[in-house]
């Protein structure tokens, strides 16, 4: 899955989608897709990632207590 880094605007390939969907994890392992060479994996904070359309990540992916806040 590809997301966009808010700081650089570059695409990030998320290598651990399970971590992305886990609201108890605040970071994921991924790598930038910019330039011609494949980048090394790195940790990315979920708070600095959005969908390529600039839409925010779903709250259930980033907030472990989202069910309690809604009801």
d(CA 29, CA 46): 10
Please report which helix (H) or strand (E) contains residue 3, including its range: strand 2-5
Overall domain count for the chain: 1
Local mean pLDDT, 10-residue blocks, the chain (71 residues)? 96 96 96 89 97 96 77 52
Q: What is the pLDDT of residue 40?
A: 94
Q: What is the pLDDT of residue 7?
A: 94
User: Where in the sequence is the domain holding 52, given as residue range(s)?
Assistant: 2-70
8 A C-beta contact, residue 33 and residue 39: yes
């Amino acid at each position: 899955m590809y997301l966009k880094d808010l700081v650089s605007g570059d695409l990030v390939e998320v290598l651990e989608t399970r971590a992305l969907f886990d609201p108890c994890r605040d970071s994921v392992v991924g790598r930038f897709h910019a330039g011609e060479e494949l980048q090394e994996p790195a940790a990315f904070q979920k708070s600095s990632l959005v969908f390529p359309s600039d839409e925010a990540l779903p709250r259930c992916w980033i907030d472990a207590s989202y069910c309690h806040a809604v009801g």
